Amino acid sequence: MLESIRIALYEKSLRKILATQKRHRQAHNFASAKKVGVLFDATAEKTRHEVMDYAKQLVEKGKSVRLFGYFKTKQPPEGHAFNFFFQKETTWAGVPKSEKAKAFAEEKFDLLIYLNPEECPPLEWLAAASQAAMKVGFATERPNDFDLLLETPDDKGLAYFIEQMHLYLDKIVLSKNESARAI
């Protein structure tokens, strides 16, 4: 019963943030996106390494990248080269309450990349609250505010999702007005 109350409170909070979302939407491809935010579940070491390698590739391509991870732990982990929040920095319902998370949501990224195929309420809420101009994430049945949803086979992993995301984002052709605004 408590779990159903927790889920109901989380869903109410998520619907509220989605209903009040007033971000400036703008289409971007990888050429036009200069400032990129990456949200991910940092609990697994393999995922952390994959995301860090991907962030390096983006930086090498001239992008300003801000990583923000979530650890499903009660104690803060140490020694990571990216900003993060953890389980104790969320409400009982799973809504992020840390100042770092709120600051990340308020940042105006050209592109927000949500790199988490699994259900993770704190990350989903943060992605919905983000003020990014364009948001990309995994296809989900849960309410979200993504502009581009990609469905990939479960067994393919994060690298395949990233490859497919680049494939689709590179196909976006911006009009001259959008190109001028992106610069």
Catalogue the long-range contacts made by 97-101 (C-beta closer than 8 Å, 24 or more residues apart): 100/68, 101/68, 101/126
pLDDT in tens, 62-78: 999 999 999 999 888 88
Domain count within the chain = 1
Range of the domain at 29: 2-182
For residue 49 the two structure tokens come to 């390494």
User: Confidence class of residue 162 from pLDDT cuts 50, 70 and 90?
Assistant: very high
CA distance 61 to 58: 5
Nearest to 41 by CA among 67, 15, 59, 66: 67
Which CATH number belongs to the domain containing residue 38 in this structure?
3.40.50
CA distance 22 to 140: 22
Mean pLDDT value of segment 17-25:
84
